[in-house]
Every structure is written in structure tokens, then in C-alpha cells.
Structure 1
Amino acid sequence: MSDTQSLIEDRPPSVASLFLERVAATPEAEAYRYPVPASSGEGPDEWRSYTWGEAAKRVFETAAGLMALGVRPEERVAVASSTRVDWILCDFGVLCSGAATTTVYPSTNTEETAYILADSESRVLIAEDAVQLDKAREARGELPGLAHVVVMEEADAVAAPDDPEGWVLSLTELRRRGAAHLAEHPESVTDAVGALRADQLATLIYTSGTTGRPKGVRLPHDCWSYMAKAIAQTGLIAEEDVQYLWLPLAHVFGKVLTAGQVEVGHVTAVDGRIDKIIENLPLVRPTYMAAVPRIFEKVYNGVAAKARAGGAAKYKIFLWAAGVAREYGKVTQDNFRRTGTASAPAGLKAKHAVADRLVYAKLREAFGGRLRACISGSAALAPDIGYFFSGAGIHILEGYGLTESSAASFVNPGEAYRTGTVGKPLPGTEVRIADDGEIMLRGPGIMQGYHGLPEKTAEVLEEDGWFHTGDIGELSPDGYLRITDRKKDLIKTSSGKYIAPAEVEGQFKAVCPYVSNILVLGADRSYCTALIALDEISLTEWSKEQEALKGRPYAEIVASEQVRELIDGHVDQLNEKLQRWQTIKKFRVLPRDLDVEHGELTPSLKVKRPVVEREFGHLIEEMYEGGRERA
């Protein structure tokens, strides 16, 4: 048995145990950074820190406070909050009490929040603020088992006249009760952690799914202790790293990042405000961060729009530099694969050096100047976007996993990463490709099953532990996985041709700097069409150069003939790269971008295809009602 495999197989029963080990090993080391608004209300936030010891004090008080409320092992405690340091400390508090965390997105509406709280039988809800408290209050009649709501924001922890006695309390009060409990029972938390079993429920994450009611995915403690050890063994993170964590912690991708950190012991700066990312990066100066492809697409489109706004000469330089970056990224990755050295021909190196001074160095500085790598997951990254960042010195390591596999099943291996693939399986994870191309996974990260849904569990989880992912992919001879599409999303045209819409959609995002989201359609139809949503900021910048559109509101800009012609040109570019049966014959530009609020995107920014098709069904029918197709 290899040392790596031994370390993974000899893991402790829970990530709570790993947390205690980390605190004991480095109590004075910095663990978390978090922003505090300036006292004046203006200017940049002030960043403060917790050491591992300081974090442990809050975690222990939270755990003991839950015990004092009567929460018992494996009972559920829900957390409904945006990404912030208190989310992480509360989650560890729940785990160290022996209970299990139910994650709830703060954007979830009242009806679905009530469903999750009821289905999970959550005993306590830890709510971020008055907005989350009000959802629980509105649904209280459907939640007889919800004994308490603990509110993070102390000013919002106000009981309503008809609230049951003691139903609402602040997080500060919970921790005060926990401190009192620890004074009487000083070993209660360590005893609870010591009693944890590997198969004991740790986390219940409800899939944000693109159809129907969300399913609760049961992840035991062993999933997280395995993930912590396996991520550390990849060598991708080190003790001296600084991670910038903004992803939703209610999502498995954000959650797994907290496990790897505990094992390695590096610093994590936590702030879930997406509108603060650009401002925070130069302040935090992370060495690594994780993101979803939409963020990288927005950065690329933003840089392109800024260059275009600088005039024709500046935009021409950017387009040239972008082309050099893609070529350099492809060549160096290919050479590393063949020779083990990321080399490039002298002529390309010279062009790259010039482009670096003009464009890439400024881009790296915008990311804080120390970024060693980014991890991209949750959806496919368009290869041309990946090669651009690769050539610019921002290395995006694509990974792959699902809620049902605790997020991290595959990741690209450091310098040997290959854009367009999701890398190799984590140590201890097995993979095979079924006869129909479906990816199958087996290992310690796989869920126990769907909460209360044995029939649904049996549909995807075989008795010998193999999990059906629902994704289609192929393995290279040396073990790199490439995802081609979701099994259920493959399009079969009326002529019998199969099309992977994600592949076409990714190629369009690489040729059109104004696109935000695109849906390729064509199932059981004679040709393919597309619904295209544009990025308002990029398109508004473009419109300033168009005499007929200057000063007009966005609704008029996006509906204009000029925009239709602009996108038509980019669709022509796309079609030149496609097989005849893949080409987009007709398209419609949507009047607004897709978003979470309208239910068209999941909180992790995946497109809910059925919702979009219902919402804009009239436009789809228009495209198939007859009339002239594109050549």
C-alpha cells in the first residue's frame, strides 16, 4: 500500500476530529480572515482574523449551545446564510455537537425553505438575518419540529408577539449558553466528537436540481474526512496558501473547500458578496481560489469590453494578445504532456513577452498578483477561455464532482493540467465508463443515498457502490477525464443526429464577448436554434460606440436591430467551427439575462433548461414555425 493510500485509508472517523487535530497542532496560526465594514460606513472594509484557537472557542461554544438546546446526535440543524465566516464556524459547531447540518441557500424562497426544513426534520435553524428568520416564521405552522431559530445578526434576533417563548435567540446568546454549558461539562464537546462514527450523518445538502423538488443528499462524516485527506494528497494546496472563498457554502463545491483547509491548515479569507470580488482580490491577494466558469467568462468579457472602450487600437492589441495567449497555452500544455517541460518556440515566446507587458501582467495584478491557480467546477469551462487564462499566467485547474460525490471526484494535477479535461480522479476514487458513455464513480466520497427516497437512491446507486453520475465522458489512456455532456441533455434531432449542447454553447462563449448565457435547442427538430442572453455591462459599453443607441435604456438596446446584427455575426463565426447538423439556424436574443430570482439559474449558476424553455417558449415556437433558415 502506498503512503498516500495509507494516509487516506487510515483517516479519522470525522472532519470534526480533523478540526480538533488542527487546533491542537497550530492554535496560534491564522485560520480565517473576514471583512468588517468601515466604521464610517464609507471606504474599504477592514479585514480581521481568527486564529485556529479563537475559531475553536466559537465552535465549541456553538456546539455546547446546541447541546444545551437539547439537540441530539444526527438531529439536523439547518443553516440559511450567505457565505461568511460565521457559516463555517456554525457548521463546525453543528458537527462537533454530533448533529448534522442541513444547508439552505439564502436565495431559496419561503415555500422551498419550508420544504427543506420539514423534509430534513431540522430541529434548529441558524438564520443569517431578519429575511431568513421571516421565512421560517411565515412557514412555522408547517414546521412543528423546528424548536428554535438562532439569528447571526444580533439586531435581527427579535421575537414577534406570536412567536413561542424562546423560539428566537441570537447567535451571541447561543454561544453564551454554550459557554455556561462548558463550564459545567468541560469535556462535553470533545466527548461528542470522540463518539462520532464514520457512517454517522454529517451533512444534508439539497440538490438545487433543474427539475422538480430538491432531493436531500446524505453525506456522512467519512465523506468529509476522506475529502480532506484526498485533497491534501493532491499537493495542490499547502500550509502557506491563502484561499479566497466566496462560493455558496450551501453548495457542495463551497463546502468541500472548508474540509481541505482544515487538513492543511492554510488561511482562508471568507466573503460571499459577489459584487465585492473585484475589490477584494487585490486586498486578500490569494494564492488560490475556486470559482464557477461564469466568473471567468465575466472577467474575460469585462477585459475585452474595457479594451474596446479604449479605442480601436487598444482593442486590436487585446485581440492580438488574446490570440497569443491561447496559442501559448495550447503549445505549452502540449509540450508539457510530451516532454514534461512547459516550453514554447522562440518566436511565440517573444510575442508572449510583449503581450505579457501590455495585457497579462495587468490581468494578474487584478487577481492580487500572487494567484498560483484557480479551481473551476460546477459546469464546463469553454476551452478557449481556459487557454486564454493559461497563456496569461492564470492557471485554471478544472475539476469535477457532484453533490452525491462530495464535490471533488476529479481535479487537474498542478503543472500537468490539461484545459478541456477535468483531470484525474482523487486518490481513493474509482472511475469507469459504462457502455453508453456514462461516467460511474465509486469511493469514500459517494453519498449514503437520498434522504427518505430509497427508490430514487436505487436508481443511481448500485449495491456494489457504483454511482451513476448521469454525465457522459471519456477517459484518455493516461487517465484524464473529459466531460462531453449531461446524459439527459443530449439532443437528438429528427434526422437522428446526436448533439451535445454544452459543447456548442461553450464554443459560442469563446467567440462572443457579449454573451452571458446561451441555450442550444433542437431535440426532435430538424435543425438547431438558440436562446441567447447577453451581459448587460458589456453590451452597454458596446452601445456607447453606436450613434443610434447612445443614451438609450438597456431594454431598447438589447431589442435593437444593431444588436441582432452583432450577435448574428458571432453566430456565423460559431457555425464555421461546427458540423453541419450542429449549426445554429435561428436564434433569439432574450430581453434580459437569466437569473436565480426568476428561477432560471440554480444558486451555483447552472441553467435550469426546462424553466427557461417554459419562460421563453413563445420565442422557441417562433423559431420553428417556418420561415427562412440560415444558410
Structure 2
Amino acid sequence: MTSLAFKEHKEHLKRLGIPRIDPNKQSVEKTGTKEYVHVNPITAKLGPDLDFFQGMETLHDVFKRGMRLSNNGSCYGWRPEPKAPYRWVTYDHIYKRAGNFGSGLIADGVEPGQQTMIGLYSQNRIGWSITEQACNRYSFVLIPLYDTLGPDACKFIVNQADIGTVVCDTESRAKLLLEKADQMPVLKRIVMMSAITDELRKRTEQLDIKLLQYREVEENGLNNKQPDMLPKKSDLCTVCYTSGTTGNPKGAMLTHGNVISNLSAFMALIHDKAPISDETHFSYLPLAHIYERFAQALILAHGGRIGYSQGDIKLLTDDIQALKPTIMPVVPRVMNRIYDKFLQGVKDKGKLKYTVFNLARKKKLAQLMKGNTRTDTKWDKVFKPLRDIMGGNIRFMTTGSAPTTEETKNFFRCVLGVTLLEGYGQTETTAIVTCGVPADMSPGHVGAVLPNTEIKLVDVPDMNYYAKNGEGEICSRGSNIFIGYLKDEEKTRETFDEDGWMHSGDIGKWLPNGTLKIIDRKKHIFKLQQGEYVAPEKIETYYQRSEYVGQVYVHGDSLQSYCVAIIVPDEEVLLKVGKSKGFGNSFEQLCKRKEVNKMILDDCVRIGKQAGLNSFEQAKKVFLCAELFSLENGLLTPTMKSKRPALKNYFKSQIDAMYGQ
């Protein structure tokens, strides 16, 4: 096994004097402050400016380091067809192609440097990564576009960021981009990874947009080599647009230094669980989001290799079995899918095998809680068929983007024998500001403060959260925090206070062991299981337009993948409908009828669709309530606004029923 990366890692730990984190004391209060600021014990010992890698300042440095540690080994892999084995290319191959592609753009009139924003509209694939490395060689700023943004949001981003060049993988995505092209005067060039059809060429000619083949740009660069214009630590590496919940998306500006800072902090936190050059990472989470970008940078920094999925969720386990990854970031939605499939497979084998499986899981969990992460115990024989489905080699997993149940996390720890860490953060924090430490498997938190970060909780009096009680809005400050929103000073000022603290909008609570627990959301916004943010009040505004709706409360849960709604129908309208359809003339009975429930849900979804709501924003189930929300029953404020916490508690049983609990 190649261990150069791990050897260097151990040397860094020793040279810098980085201690292991005590699971019972994962954060400490910063000395000299009265604001209850928490820092990592590593920060308390070594200071906030942790430079773990020493000399690695940009993502270009990350790639060059990986090239050295891997001895120019395999870098990226893909499956040319569904059942084919993975095909690999080396670090040097990617580096040369990135140089050619960047040179080709410059030779075609694209100016190198920070003033140039390159749009990238593609699923995860080799072309994505070559484009990214080209940006890192010539100081272009990479701006990913993604499908859920929609044509209007893409138009806004292209215009706001002055994106003159967009790289697309497929004709379908190019056509989506071109839907609003007549309103994007800044767009001058589209580079296609796939074949160019006559229809697409004709359309771009009509719009006076240059259409180029990716390989054509590379060949042009090969014949017109351009000198590198390497970025600095303080330069932007990307602008990540968040899909947002209302209005236009916001472009979070992240520097090379932001990413390197988080890589350094994460490496210090996980201590001797560091990646080595033989690691294989499975890439299926979208590269348009910072979580996957951070995970890939971590692998590349250690000379590991990255295998891409085929992009079809139904082929996910097939890809995993072919790749046999050692490292895999996951999100709750994928974890639950795998968990449910595994569990159903065991149940289908009969009651006896299911009983044995549960016994083995219970015994293995007891061992894990004592720190035993072996996979060769007598109980592991029960889990081997399931481990084989996951390739048999996974040793390290991370999860984030939304909360994960302890049952699901412990299932993966038991069955796969992996180190599974949960983290918390946002795009604006370059992925994470807290993360679990390997030695701690206690439930109900999102881990320790990262060594590059300070976190304090700020009073939210109207929600009865106070920092003196260890509760409040989570605010962070450090070298990993983004520098602001692109061309949006107002939103930037709303996010940062005068002392430079970034306000998250999430409510946290410090636990006795120094870890952070997420307990609420300051604004009425929630994140669904798949990581999408939803603003319920916006949805309620649209649903209120239905003639059948008197009052409505939309609810979402970060452990669920869809929204539900409590609706008090308009009694007068519903009685008329009941009479005309022969459903009866009792309001209470009408509210209980399945036909009425479906009629009202369908009408709300219709209105929501007309208003432009995304599918994940639409309620999938409703409960019809015959009692109005009022001051008397405690469900409305004196200004007649919905009391959301009270509504959540009042309708808990109905909400649980809609989620099948």
C-alpha cells in the first residue's frame, strides 16, 4: 500500500504538535471574551491560523501535490458504458488537457485572470474536472450552473456575473440555457462536451453565439500554448450560487484560501484517519455544490483517485460495486435509500435471518461504542453480503447537508465498519464549520468546532434562546468564511455583522461535551432531506389563492423529503361543492372525505405550479381541519399571523401520520 500521503500527514501532526481531540471536551470557551465564543482545543493550543499543509495555498497547489504523492497515478475514472469496468486517466493527463483547454480559451479571445467568469453547466464527469483545473491554472473564476435553478435563474446568474463563456455537457442543457439567451447579451460562447447537432448550431447562429467543440478548444490550445497565470491565496476560485427560497439566487464568493483553510482544519480534526494515496472516492453528489467540491479537493490533495457515477440513481449500487471505493461522502436521502434497500433485502430472507441480523447489529454497535471499528469480528460475517454490495472496501464516510437519524448512521457504522462523521455548514462556510471526531459516536449533535473557526451563539429573544444558556443563533468567523455575495452588498451586510461574524439563521445549542446541536431555524425556512431549502410562507401565500382554502400551514422536516400542509377549507365554498357533488352538507364530514382531500390538494398544486414552485416545494399530502386557527386556540398571534411552533405541536399527530410515522 502506498503510504507517502499518510507518512507526510503523520509528520505534519507531529511537527505542528496537533493533539487528538478529547471526545468529552470538543470545544472550549475562548479566553479574553465575554461573548461565549467557542473554539477547538487545537485552536486554543496553536492559534487560529492553522497552516497544516505549509506552502499549499491554492487549488492548483492541491492538484500538484496529488500528482507528486501519487507518483502520477490514476486520477479520474469513468465507465464508458453501463456494465464496463472503470477506465482511468493519470494526474499528468488531466493537467496537460487542462493546460490545453485553458490555452484554447485564451487563444479564442477569453482573457485570463480574475475578471473572467467561466460558467459550467454539466453533471459530474471528466470534462467538469478538466475545466475546473483549467480555471485553477489561468485564474478564471468557475461558476457552476445546475438544473434546479431553471432558465430564469440561469439568466440572472449569467448576466450578474458577466459570464461570457459557458461549458455544457449535453445538448439538452445547452437548449435550456438558450431559452433565455436573447436576454443574456453577455453570453458570447458555448463550449460543448458532446456532439454538436445542426439544430443547435443553427440556434446559436441565430443568437450570434459562438459554438465550439470541447476537443476543438483543446486542439487550439495545444497549438497555441499560453503561459500559466496561477492564482493567489486571496483570489476567487468559485462563485457558488445558492438556489435560495425567495427572489434571485445569491452568489457566494469563495477564495482559494477559504478552501485550503477548511482542508487544513479538517485534516487536523480527523487526526490519524487521514486519506492516503490509495484512496478511491465515489463521485455522485453534484459538483455544482461545495460539499462534493470540498470532498474531491481532499482526495486530490493526497493523490487519491476519483471515480464518477453514470449519473443514474438506479445504477448507483452497480457503480459502487464496480468501483469499490474506500471513501464516500453521503447525504441523508442516499443513506436512507441504501438503508431501506438493505433492510428490505434482509427481511425478504425470512424472520430468522432478520432476527440474527438485528442481534448482530446490536452486538456490533456495543463494540463500536467502545471504539472497536474492526470488520473481522464474528458478527461481521452476517454483514459481509451487505458490505459486498457497497464494494467491500469503504472505510471512511462523511455526511452533511441535512440531519441524519442516529439509527441510519449506526447502521452504516455497524454493517460497513466505517468511520462515519457528520458535519454542519453552509456554502458560505466552504462546506463545514463543525464536524464529528472519529472517537465520538455519541448521538444528537453535529460535532466539534473546526480548528480554523470561532463560533458563538447569539440571543434570539423572541424565540426564547439566550447565549448565557448555551443556546442561540449560530454565528461563525474564520479563514474559511466566504467574502460576500457577488454584486450584492445588501445581502452581504445582512449576513455579516459589524464585527465580522457570519449569521447562519440556524439555532444551536452547546452540549456538555463541547459539541453543537442544531435545534431550530431563526427564519421560517427549513431544509428538506435532499438539502433543498423551502420557505413555507411563500408556499402558503400561493395556496391561499385556492378558492377552497381558508387557512393553511405548510410544514417540512429535515429528516423527510417532502412538505405537508394543514388546511382549513373555506366553509362556504366547500359546502357548495359538497352539495353539488352529492358529498353531503356537513363541513366536518366533508373535511374527512378522501375525494375532497384530493380535490383541494390538486387545486393547490395546480396554483403552485402556475406560480413557479419547484416540485420539492409542493405539498405531497394535506390534512383538512374543520377548526379555524385562532387567538382562542393559541394558533394565531394578536396580529393574526400563524404561530408556527404552536401549529407544529398542535398538529403533531396529523403531521406524523402524513409522514407515515
- TM-score above 0.5, yes or no: yes
- The partner residue of 1:373 within 387, 392, 396 is 396
State how 1:307-456 maps to structure 2 within 5 Å: 307-311=346-350, 313=351, 317-318=353-354, 321-322=357-358, 325=361, 328-329=364-365, 331-332=366-367, 334-336=369-371, 353=378, 356-358=380-382, 360-392=383-415, 393-435=417-459, 436=465, 437-456=472-491
Shift of the 587–470 alpha-carbon distance from structure 1 to 2, 3 Å rule, reads: farther
Tell me, yes or no, if the aligned pair for 2:566 and 2:624 is still in contact at 8 Å. no
Tell me, yes or no, if the aligned pair for 1:110 and 1:136 is still in contact at 8 Å. yes
- The partner residue of 1:462 within 476, 485, 497 is 497
1:457 Cα deviation after fit? 1.0
- The partner residue of 2:202 within 160, 179, 184 is 160
Deviation string 1:522-561 (CA, Å, 9 cap, x unpaired) is 899xxxxxxxxxxxxxxxxxxxxxxxxxxxxxxxxxxxxx
In the alignment, does 2:285 pair up with 1:243? no
Q: Which amino acid aligns with 2:402?
A: A
2:75 counterpart residue number: 31
1:620 Cα deviation after fit? 4.5
Q: Which amino acid aligns with 1:252?
A: I
1:602 Cα deviation after fit? 11
The 2-side partners of 1:9 and 1:394 are apart by 26
The 2-side partners of 1:310 and 1:269 are apart by 32
User: What secondary structure, in the 3-state scheme, does the structure 2 residue paired with 1:445 have?
Assistant: coil
Tell me, yes or no, if the aligned pair for 1:88 and 1:258 is still in contact at 8 Å. no
The 2-side partners of 1:587 and 1:395 are apart by 45
Aligned residues, how many? 514
1:156 Cα deviation after fit? 4.9
- The partner residue of 1:176 within 219, 236, 257 is 219
RMSD: 4.0
User: What secondary structure, in the 3-state scheme, does the structure 2 residue paired with 1:321 have?
Assistant: helix
Shift of the 124–27 alpha-carbon distance from structure 1 to 2, 3 Å rule, reads: farther
The 2-side partners of 1:251 and 1:417 are apart by 27
User: What secondary structure, in the 3-state scheme, does the structure 2 residue paired with 1:58 have?
Assistant: helix
Residue identity (%): 23
User: What secondary structure, in the 3-state scheme, does the structure 2 residue paired with 1:449 have?
Assistant: coil
- The partner residue of 1:277 within 290, 299, 316 is 316
Q: Which amino acid aligns with 2:342?
A: V
2:5 counterpart residue number: none
Shift of the 90–601 alpha-carbon distance from structure 1 to 2, 3 Å rule, reads: farther
Tell me, yes or no, if the aligned pair for 1:67 and 1:97 is still in contact at 8 Å. no
2:519 counterpart residue number: 484
Tell me, yes or no, if the aligned pair for 2:368 and 2:414 is still in contact at 8 Å. no
User: What secondary structure, in the 3-state scheme, does the structure 1 residue paired with 2:221 have?
Assistant: helix
The 1-side partners of 2:610 and 2:411 are apart by 31
1:15 counterpart residue number: 59
1:206 counterpart residue number: 241
Deviation string 1:168-196 (CA, Å, 9 cap, x unpaired) is 001111111211221xx4xx12xx01xx2
1:444 Cα deviation after fit? 1.5
The 2-side partners of 1:523 and 1:335 are apart by 48
- The partner residue of 1:517 within 561, 564, 567 is 561
Q: Which amino acid aligns with 2:202?
A: A
1:519 Cα deviation after fit? 4.2
The 2-side partners of 1:47 and 1:372 are apart by 20
Shift of the 12–288 alpha-carbon distance from structure 1 to 2, 3 Å rule, reads: closer
Structure ID, larger Rg:
2
TM-score by structure 1 length?
0.72
In the alignment, does 2:638 pair up with 1:612? no
1:229 Cα deviation after fit? 3.1
Shift of the 373–468 alpha-carbon distance from structure 1 to 2, 3 Å rule, reads: same
The 1-side partners of 2:55 and 2:261 are apart by 7
State how 1:178-197 maps to structure 2 within 5 Å: 178-182=221-225, 185=226, 188-189=227-228, 192-193=229-230, 196-197=231-232
Tell me, yes or no, if the aligned pair for 2:567 and 2:623 is still in contact at 8 Å. no
TM-score by structure 2 length?
0.69
Tell me, yes or no, if the aligned pair for 2:181 and 2:207 is still in contact at 8 Å. no
Q: Which amino acid aligns with 1:361?
A: K
Q: Which amino acid aligns with 2:64?
A: L
- Please, which moves more after superposition, 482-491 or 468-477? 482-491
In the alignment, does 2:132 pair up with 1:91? yes
The 1-side partners of 2:101 and 2:187 are apart by 18
- The partner residue of 2:253 within 218, 230, 234 is 218
1:206 Cα deviation after fit? 0.8
1:551 counterpart residue number: none
User: What secondary structure, in the 3-state scheme, does the structure 2 residue paired with 1:109 have?
Assistant: helix
- The partner residue of 1:136 within 145, 158, 177 is 177
In the alignment, does 2:338 pair up with 1:299? yes
1:587 Cα deviation after fit? 13
Shift of the 296–319 alpha-carbon distance from structure 1 to 2, 3 Å rule, reads: farther
Q: Which amino acid aligns with 1:33?
A: G
Tell me, yes or no, if the aligned pair for 1:210 and 1:602 is still in contact at 8 Å. no
1:290 counterpart residue number: 329
Indicate the structure whose relative CO is greater, using CA pairs within 8 Å and at least 6 residues apart: 2
Deviation string 1:126-185 (CA, Å, 9 cap, x unpaired) is 011111211232222111111100011134595116346671001111111211221xx4
1:259 counterpart residue number: 297
1:111 counterpart residue number: 152
Tell me, yes or no, if the aligned pair for 2:67 and 2:303 is still in contact at 8 Å. no
Q: Which amino acid aligns with 1:391?
A: C
Deviation string 1:450-474 (CA, Å, 9 cap, x unpaired) is 1121111111112433211111222
In the alignment, does 2:120 pair up with 1:79? yes
Consecutive unaligned residues of structure 1, counting only runs of 5 or more, are 38-42, 344-348, 493-500, 507-515, 525-563, 565-585
Deviation string 1:317-347 (CA, Å, 9 cap, x unpaired) is 4266346525743x445444xxxx679xxxx
1:120 counterpart residue number: 161
Deviation string 1:264-323 (CA, Å, 9 cap, x unpaired) is 111111224322211011111111101110111111211233344445x25xx4266346
Shift of the 304–25 alpha-carbon distance from structure 1 to 2, 3 Å rule, reads: closer
Deviation string 1:564-588 (CA, Å, 9 cap, x unpaired) is 9xxxxxxxxxxxxxxxxxxxxx999
The 2-side partners of 1:365 and 1:173 are apart by 42
State how 1:545-624 maps to structure 2 within 5 Å: 611-613=617-619, 619-622=622-625
Consecutive unaligned residues of structure 2, counting only runs of 5 or more, are 1-14, 19-48, 460-464, 466-471, 527-535, 537-554, 569-591, 630-649, 655-661
Deviation string 1:171-230 (CA, Å, 9 cap, x unpaired) is 111111211221xx4xx12xx01xx23222221111022333211111122112223333
In the alignment, does 2:151 pair up with 1:145? no
Deviation string 1:461-515 (CA, Å, 9 cap, x unpaired) is 12433211111222334432222233324899xxxxxxxx88x764xxxxxxxxx
Tell me, yes or no, if the aligned pair for 1:198 and 1:220 is still in contact at 8 Å. yes
1:121 Cα deviation after fit? 1.4
1:55 Cα deviation after fit? 0.9
Q: Which amino acid aligns with 1:180?
A: N
The 1-side partners of 2:610 and 2:291 are apart by 20
Q: Which amino acid aligns with 1:486?
A: R
The 2-side partners of 1:385 and 1:118 are apart by 43
Shift of the 624–305 alpha-carbon distance from structure 1 to 2, 3 Å rule, reads: farther
Q: Which amino acid aligns with 2:427?
A: T
2:635 counterpart residue number: none
